[in-house]
Chain A
Amino acid sequence: MALSAIALRTYAVNSIYDQLPVKATEVIYEGSAIGMTAGYARALVAADKFGGFSMENVTGTAASGGILVTVRVRGYISLAITDAAVTDWGAAVYASDDGTFTLDPTSNTLIGKLVHWISTGYGIVAFNTAITTL
């Protein structure tokens, strides 16, 4: 509805962390790429929406949302990326599961982009879930 008076808003702290509800019985390891499926977090499965990287080990309860997982939602992370070469600076990086990263977009999940090449197959990836899921 269009405003007809002041509307005091609630702004969230601009944190690099968030806590997301975990899908029922899902096993998530620290360092796992997080996938979001129907609003719940799990170890990423290709084509999920990217929810960040897990900061802890968590196992989901019998019901979805019974527990929360702390995730890092943006930053720069060192990753092994299949075949990444110096010429791939700026390339989009995708996850095919919670621990596998690739430059191949096919059916995979966009997580960020290569902003610093370290050596063949290794680089720094800039990620920000607020952008990659837009």
Chain B
Amino acid sequence: MALSARTPRTYEVDSIYDQLPVKASAVIYEGAAIGMASGYARGLIGTDLFAGFAAESITGTSADGGVYVTVRRKGYIKLTVGVAAVTDWGVGVYATADGSFTLTASTNPLVGKIVHWWATGIVTVAFNSANTTL
């Protein structure tokens, strides 16, 4: 409805962390790329939406949303990415699993982009889950 009076909003602190509900029985390890499946977090699989990196290890309960996992949703992270070369600065990085990263888009979810190349296959990736799924 269009506003007809002042409506103070609630803004969240601009935190680099969030807590997301975990999918039933999902096993998530600290450092895992997190995938969202129907609104619940798990170790990223194939075409999930990327939601960040797990800041803790956790196992889902028998029901969806029984526990929450703390995730880092934005920042810069050093990753092993396929055969990333010095010429790949600025290219998109995708996840094929919770611990596998590639430059191949195909049906893989976008994680971020290379902002620093260290050596073949070793790079720093800038990521922000609020941007990559738009």
Tell me the A residues contacting B by CB distance below 8 Å.
16, 29-32, 43, 53, 57, 72, 75-79, 85-90, 92, 97-100, 110, 112-113, 115-117, 124, 126, 128, 131-132
Contact A30 B130 (CB under 8 A): no
Which chain A positions have C-beta within 8 A of B2? Answer: 43, 97-100
Given A31-B3, A31-B6, answer yes or no on A76-B12 (Cβ-Cβ < 8 Å).
yes
A112–B130 touching, CB < 8 Å: yes
Which 10 pairs show the lowest CB-CB distances between chains A and B? A31-B7, A126-B130, A76-B12, A86-B39, A30-B6, A99-B3, A90-B49, A78-B10, A97-B2, A90-B133
Q: Is the interface of A mostly helix, strand, loop or mixed?
A: strand
- Is B6 in contact with A77, judged by CB distance below 8 angstroms? no
* Chain A residues within an 8 Å CB radius of B73: 115
CB distance from A50 to the nearest CB of B (A): 12
In the complex, whether B87 has a CB less than 8 A from a CB of chain A is: no
Contact A98 B3 (CB under 8 A): yes
B117 interface residue (CB < 8 Å to A): no
Number of residue pairs spanning A and B whose beta carbons lie under 8 angstroms apart: 86
Residues of A contacting B6 in the complex (Cβ-Cβ under 8 angstroms): 29-31, 57
Residue tally, chain B, CB below 8 Å to A: 30
**Given A87-B39, A131-B131, also A31-B9 (CB < 8 A):** yes
B134 in contact with A113 (CB, 8 Å): yes
Distance in angstroms from B110 CB to nearest chain A CB is 12
Contact: A75 with B40, CB < 8 Å? no
Residues from chain B with a CB closer than 8 A to the CB of A43 are: 2-3
How distant is the Cα of A113 from the Cα of B3 in the complex, in angstroms?
21
Complex CA–CA separation, A43 to B6 (angstroms): 12
A99 to B6, CA, bound (A): 10
Question: A-facing mask of B36-73, CB < 8 A → 1, else 0?
Answer: 10111000000001010000000000000100000001
- Shortest CB–CB separation between residue B47 and chain A, in angstroms? 12
Contact A128:B130 (CB < 8 A) given known A75-B14, A89-B49, A115-B73: yes
B129: contacting residue among A31, A77, A115, CB under 8 A? A115
The chain A residue with its CB closest to the CB of B130 is A126
B120 to chain A, nearest CB (A): 31
B18 nearest in chain A by CB position: A116
Given known A-B contacts A75-B14, A113-B133, A89 and B3 have beta carbons under 8 A apart: no
Given contacts A90-B133, A128-B130, contact A77 B3 (CB under 8 A): no
